[in-house]
Amino acid sequence: MTTRLTFLVCGSLTAALLASAGCNPPGATKSAKGDSTSAAARTFVAPGDKDEYYLFYSGGHSGQVYVAGIPSMRHISTIPVFAPYPATGYGFDEESKKMLGGFTWGDVHHPGLSQTDGKYDGRWLFVNDNANNRIARVDLRDFKTRQILGPIPNSSGNHGSSFVTENSEYVLVATRFSVPLPKGRFAEIADYKTEFNGMVSGIKVDPKSGEMAVGWQILTPPFNWDLGSTGKGPSSGWAFWTSYNSEMAHETLEANSTQGERDYAAIVNWRAAEQAVKDGKGTMMAGVAILDPAKVPGLMYFLAVPKSPHGIDTDPSGRWIAASGKLQPVTSVFDFEKIQKAIADRNFEGEVRGVPVLKHDAVIEGEVPVGLGPLHTQYDGKGNAYTSMYVESAVAKWSLPPWTDAQKKDLNTVILDKIPVHFNIGHLVIGGSDTKAPYGQYLVAMNKLSKGRHLGVGPSQPESSQLIDISGNKMTMLYEAYTEPEPHFAQILKADAISPIEVYPKAENTNPHAVWEATQAGVTRSGNKVDVKMVAIRSRFVPDTIEVKAGDEVTIHVTNVEQTTDMIHGLGIAEHDMNIVVDPGETKTMTFTAGKAGVYPFYCTNFCSALHQEMQGYLAVRP
């Protein structure tokens, strides 16, 4: 009923997708005051108490990852990843500057937590940069970005990641955009179909250190790979991506890439890829072993999925794979057991560039009529799936197969509940949905629009994230929080799964430039290079006057000798565009060229004590 009504209100589905900002579902209420007392009680975390879960959510084109608590939805931390962030001095000290590699922005989409045996192990969070083809690792010991890999060779538009395999062997990534390869080669855009390629890459993760390196790559036709997920259980060793633009159009994609009734999903045997490279079946391109799926049978299969699919999500058992065609109101459920059988029986309906296309009818379990504009599906581990619907602004809860014959006859009957969200949901997240053991208590709906639900802030509006209780039969809306653009996807982690450190232990500081006593601090010069070893302690810098000459290359190593949690010192230098922030027990280095002659104040940028204001000094630059 809701589906039909919305359909009528919105005109056509495509029109609705395009103009969906103006199309809210009937029954979308402005507030939920009726239930507000019990909802408030369920999200209330008393001052001094702690949340039960972490929510790590993408900061989109801010290049950052935000951390909030669930159920309070309070923002706790911002982890800068792909962009400089003066608040923590990220991108100003030498180490993080080097990691950023000269880029000043990135586009974070899909955080992925590390796993051991198909469960979150609380070690790392991987995030992708869609814009500059990078992938980063955040260490959950200290919530700091520790590695940025990329730009990934032979790969453009790192959107289809970060999908972590069951034992964090790999973070799997696929390209949204196709380009002539290797990167840097010119080809006419008109020759898109023949000269451009996409790529699926296996980013190998060192099991001890988490250090990432490109393991192998699989060359693909120039489809636009979209979302993906990794297998487990029966689908262990496999990974799945949807695509749009199987038409291989290169202009006016909005129309030209939506011609076909179906687009291809890729089904990739990543263990076979690993083996094929070991067996020497790869060809080197830009330093990476590239596999051609036409020449390595068993590596990759295609599967036609209706109507420009977006999300593709493997359920906790690893058997069911839900893919949503955003231009049609159903989610297709595929059975991995049938996929295996179709592969064994060579039950194909053709091939594309040497890649077999699995017979759709042989592997589909059913099409669940969830509603309009379905995007992503998450699982609660109790046999239920939850699909976000962008056009309908709602989340549908439905039951996974196996279905009874009666249910199969009318899959409307597997839809258990629907809840409106505000508005135009993209991703949704349930803690552990991509693992064998989802938490199944909360769902966060990450909505693209929030119009009219908050105080006016001018034309640029925040996004909204809504917390929904999924512990009962019916979903209950609990809370609404506002976020910076743009929380694409998120991960939820049980708070007790990690215990982040509070200071960097002095004993672990191996930085050769660290100084722990005021007597060791000082300034040395060699030629026009000036080297400063500085101690920061409440509430002074030693030394607090530094004399240099205009044009000198100045390097300052600051050690924050505190061993007390939260005792952070910053070092900002006036008119030098420099600010680093040093955590307790940490040593950081800044390098800059001394500016014009003059005397420039520097000061501690983090309020650290009653005498924080006094924590200042001078950089004297002689002519």
Binding site for ligand RUQ (CB under 6 A): 109-110, 159, 227, 310, 375-376, 426-427, 488-489
- Nearest residue to ligand RUQ on Cβ basis: 426
Distance in angstroms (rounded) separating the CA atoms of residues 72 and 310: 30
In this chain, which stretch among 98-106, 294-302, 314-322, 603-611 interacts with ligand CUA, using CB under 6 A? 603-611
Site for ligand CUA (CB under 6 A): which residue of 477, 615, 619, 621? 615
First to last CA, the chain: 78
* Nearer Cβ to ligand CUA (204/612): 612
Instruction: Report the 10 Å Cβ neighbour count for 408.
Output: 14
Stretch touching ligand CUA by CB under 6 A, among 42-50, 87-95, 320-328, 602-610: 602-610
**What is the C-alpha to C-alpha distance for residues 161 and 168, in angstroms, rounded to an integer?**
13
Q: Name the residue with tokens 């799964």.
A: 497
Sign, CA torsion 412/465/433/59: positive
- In contact, 332 and 305? CB cutoff 8 Å: yes
| Amino acid at residue number 219 | L
Binding partner selected for residue 159 from ligand CUA, ligand RUQ, none, CB under the kind-specific 5 to 8 Å limit: ligand RUQ
Q: Which is nearer to ligand RUQ, 222 or 374 (CB)?
A: 374
Please identify which residue in 604, 617, 619, 621 interacts with ligand CUA, judged by CB under 6 A: 604
In this chain, which stretch among 6-14, 50-58, 154-162, 599-607 interacts with ligand CUA, using CB under 6 A? 599-607
When asked if residue 606 is in the footprint of ligand CUA (CB under 6 A), the reply is: yes
Name residues whose C-beta falls within 8 Å of residue 216's C-beta, 6 or more positions apart in sequence.
201, 202, 273, 274, 276, 277, 282, 288, 289, 290, 291
* Angle CA 502–442–39, to nearest 5: 100
Site residues (CB under 6 A) for ligand CUA, limited to 538-557 = 539
Tracing tokens 């924050």 back to the chain, one arrives at: 560
Query: 303 has which bridge partners?
Result: 265, 358
- How near is the Cβ of 613 to ligand CUA at its closest, in Å? 8
Compare residues 128 and 589 and give the one whose CB is closer to ligand CUA. Answer: 589
Q: How far is the CB of 615 from ligand CUA (least distance, A)?
A: 4
Q: Is 616 an interacting residue with respect to ligand CUA (CB under 6 A)?
A: no
Q: Which stretch binds ligand CUA (CB under 6 A): 219-227, 358-366, 372-380, 606-614?
A: 606-614
Q: Using CB distances below 5 to 8 A depending on partner kind, what does residue 199 bind out of ligand CUA, ligand RUQ, none?
A: none
- Distance between CA atoms of residues 199 and 220, nearest Å: 5
Which residue in the set 608, 617, 619, 621 belongs to the binding site for ligand CUA (CB under 6 A)?
608
Residue 423, preceding peptide bond in cis (omega within 30° of 0): yes
Q: From the CB of 6, what's the least distance to ligand RUQ, in Å? A: 19
**Which residues lie below 8 Å from residue 366, measured CB to CB, with a gap of 6+?**
332, 333, 401, 403, 408, 411
Question: What are φ and ψ of residue 610, in 5° steps?
Answer: -60, -25
494 binds ligand CUA (CB under 6 A): no
Give the three-state DSSP class for 93. coil
Q: Write down the least CB distance from residue 612 to ligand CUA, Å.
A: 4
**Could you list the residues that contact ligand CUA (CB under 6 A)?**
539, 569, 604, 606-608, 612, 615
